[in-house]
Amino acid sequence: MTPVTVVVNDLMQRGYTYERIEPVSTNFDPSFTPDLTPQEMLALGSFGGKYMTDCADEFPEGWYRDAKLCHERHDPDLNYFGVNASQPLSVWRKKGWIYAEDPRGWFQWYCRYYMGRRIPEEDARQIKRWKQMARHVAQVKYGCRNGDATCRPRQRQALLHWEYDSRKL
């Protein structure tokens, strides 16, 4: 594949440039098997609809067609489970979860990875963080009846934020 250069100019990044070196949605690390695509995540209203409302120039138009977004504020009612399962960006920064090139965090990294960007060290770090969410999958599986969406809704919403399809648990 011929690399594609992307220049980002949104509210959180000006002039950031990266290359997409892999075809879209392929050649993932074999241990990284997300259940949901970024488009599905946006349609589920994850992150209270506020996440990446100013990034439409960077990602495919189709991702935003059915997206549940709120440009003004974080609205937990837009989340699939209707609850707030997010921490403020300030908490993410304080805990060292933010990589400088992805100032919005995990989901921004995933969107760019999905589109073909590769940064080996950061990819390994984020995939390790994603794998650590499996403990929450286990807690929902063992603590709830299968399909009971009223059981642990915050934990289920958090799992959706991490590309685990907790609607199926």
Which string of DSSP letters, residue by residue, matches 4-41?
Answer: EEEEEESSS-EEEEEEE-S-TT-S--TT---SS-HHHH
Position 94 in a domain: yes
On whether residue 60 sits in a domain, the answer given is yes
pLDDT at residue 117 in the model: 98
State which residues form the domain around 53: 4-132
- As for how many domains the chain has, the answer is 1
- CA–CA gap between residue 95 and residue 144 (Å, rounded): 30
The distance of Cα 105 from the centroid of its chain, to the nearest Å, equals 8
SS3 123: helix
Between 149 and 21, the higher pLDDT residue: 21
Does 134 have pLDDT greater than 80? yes
Question: Is 75 within a domain?
Answer: yes
On whether residue 137 sits in a domain, the answer given is: no
Domain presence at residue 164? no
Per mean pLDDT, which range of 33-37, 87-91, 123-127 is the poorest? 87-91
What number of other Cβ atoms are within 10 A of residue 79's Cβ?
A: 26
Residue 44 falls inside a structural domain: yes
Residues 6+ apart with CB under 8 A from 165: 35, 36, 159
Read off the pLDDT band of 97 (50, 70, 90).
confident
Report the predicted TM-score, pTM, of the whole model to 2 decimal places: 0.93
